[in-house]
Amino acid sequence: MKAVHFGAGNIGRGFVGLLLHQAGYEVVFADVADALIDQLAAADSYNVHEVGENPIVRTVDNFRALNSGTQEAALVREIATADIVTTAVGPHILKFVAPAITKGIAARAAGLAPLQVMACENAINATDILRAEVAALWDDAAGSLDDAAVFANTAVDRIVPNQAPGQGLDVTVETFYEWVIDRTAFGDAAPVIPGATFVDELSPYIERKLFTVNTGHASAAYFGFEAGLEKISEAMADQDVAEDVRAVLEETKQLLVAKHGFNNDEQEAYVQKILVRFSNPHLPDTVNRVGRAPMRKLSRHERFIGPAAELAERGIVPEALLGAIAAALRFTDPADAEATELAQILAASSAADATAKITGLAPEHPLFAAVSTLVEERQAEGAKAPA
Ligand SMILES: NC(=O)c1ccc[n+]([C@@H]2O[C@H](COP(=O)([O-])OP(=O)(O)OC[C@H]3O[C@@H](n4cnc5c(N)ncnc54)[C@H](O)[C@@H]3O)[C@@H](O)[C@H]2O)c1
Ligand SMILES: O=P(O)(O)OC[C@@H](O)[C@@H](O)[C@H](O)[C@H](O)CO
């Protein structure tokens, strides 16, 4: 069995690659980072260090590596004979990996089982986004895309921080993980991946993960950044930050319980477990990594505006989420292109225009005025566009 995995970064090596390896797949990593691919191609194995309660080291071997930027023809051949393709590249990168996937599917021999494609990104239905990119490139002369490939949405959860320099290919991760996969996409031929959970109705799980783990995580990052803290565990050790994060998760819990019918006590236990995960002192995770790409995080269906908008539509003022949105608007990082873009929009647009550009909210939406007020306050503080 062979899997081609795009994105040999933190979650690629520390989670998806590991689980596919443990499931018995040979993994072909594809990435555009030259040095990383060279290192992987030269290595026989790497270690995943699970830190926290019950730490353990797991070894991944039986992999190969290809540069998806310079070795496309070889990559297409690998996809043509693979069983599974997965990605962990970031939702905005899916359009760049779609061409090789499309060519690989088109090159599959007749009679092969459909390629099983799963995008493991933090976004609602990321695989649907990937499928749309592939479908746009697909030539019907190659037959029906639906006969050649199945696309299954997934939700992946494991905190994998940026790795310390000098660590080579080894990855430090938390012990916790969850990979929830939409079973319905596969008919009766779902892959066997020990540790993954297959469900018939994925959307509640995706929203629960994004609006609890990622909303809480990003809140800790932005409140922690405002407090001048560097690590997420330090942010969670700050009583004010921890209380603000807790208040945000109380609001998303209210929405998730009302919308999806999650049991209130079970959701509370889920929240409590996540707060402990964020506080893991063995995990060197930073507010800059978790706060990265603030334009994506502040977009319409993402971890802040998504739940806040739905609460507002239900007549509830999401005070704590608005506090986190205000903190997100104050996030700066010269190394982060989206933080620069955010600052530029804040500096160059009216409050109403900036609110629409950053959040995608329509002016008539019940959340719009409250967010626009926060944007105006941020502009009054002087959000300068970088030179
Ligand atoms: N790190 C986590 O804790 C975590 C957990 C769950 C989900 N995720 C999601 O997984 C995805 C990846 O996150 P990450 O933390 O591993 O990021 P990362 O930056 O560590 O890894 C991304 C990798 O994708 C590669 N890449 C970029 N463009 C590419 C292209 N065109 N083709 C092939 N590879 C390309 C990069 O070189 C990099 O190695 C994101 O969607 C993220 O939200 C991350
Ligand atoms: O990857 P992002 O930028 O969407 O979000 C940053 C972190 O919150 C995220 O990577 C978490 O560590 C992960 O989602 C945990 O499962």
The interface predicted TM-score of the complex, written ipTM, equals 0.99
What's the Cα-to-Cα distance from 370 to each of 245, 248, 367, 373, 377, rounded to whole Å? 19, 16, 6, 5, 11
Selection from 153, 189, 202, 200 nearest residue 1 by Cα: 189
Q: What beta strand segments (E) does 228-344 contain? A: none
Residue 382: predicted pLDDT: 84
Task: Starting from the CA of residue 297, give the closest ligand.
Answer: 2
Q: What pLDDT score was predicted for residue 59?
A: 98
Q: Residues 92-105: pLDDT tens digits?
A: 999 999 999 999 99
pTM over 0.90: yes
pLDDT tens, residue by residue, 222-236:
999 999 999 999 999
Q: Minimum-distance ligand to the CA of 9?
A: 1
Contact 160 CB / ligand 1 (< 6 Å): yes
Residue nearest to atom 6 of ligand 2 (CA): 290
Is residue 124 within 8 Å of residue 135, measured between CB atoms? no
pLDDT reading at 386 higher than 70: no
The confidence score (pLDDT) of residue 53 equals 86
Mutate to test the pocket of ligand 1, among 31, 34, 96, 133 (most ligand atoms within 8 A of CB): 31
Residue 4 labeled ligand binder: yes
pLDDT given for residue 387 in this prediction: 47
Average pLDDT, the chain: 97
Whether 9 has a binding-site annotation, put simply, is: yes
When pLDDT is averaged across residues 303-310 and rounded to a whole number, the result is 98
The domains located in the chain, with CATH, are 2-201 (3.40.50.720), 204-381 (1.10.1040.10)
pLDDT score for 166:
87
**CA 123 to ligand 2: nearest atom:** 4
Residue 214 CA: nearest ligand 2 atom is: 8
- Does the annotation place 158 within a ligand binding site? no
47-89 confidence digits (pLDDT tens) = 999 998 899 999 999 999 999 999 999 999 999 999 999 999 9
Q: Does residue 241 have a known ligand-binding role?
A: no
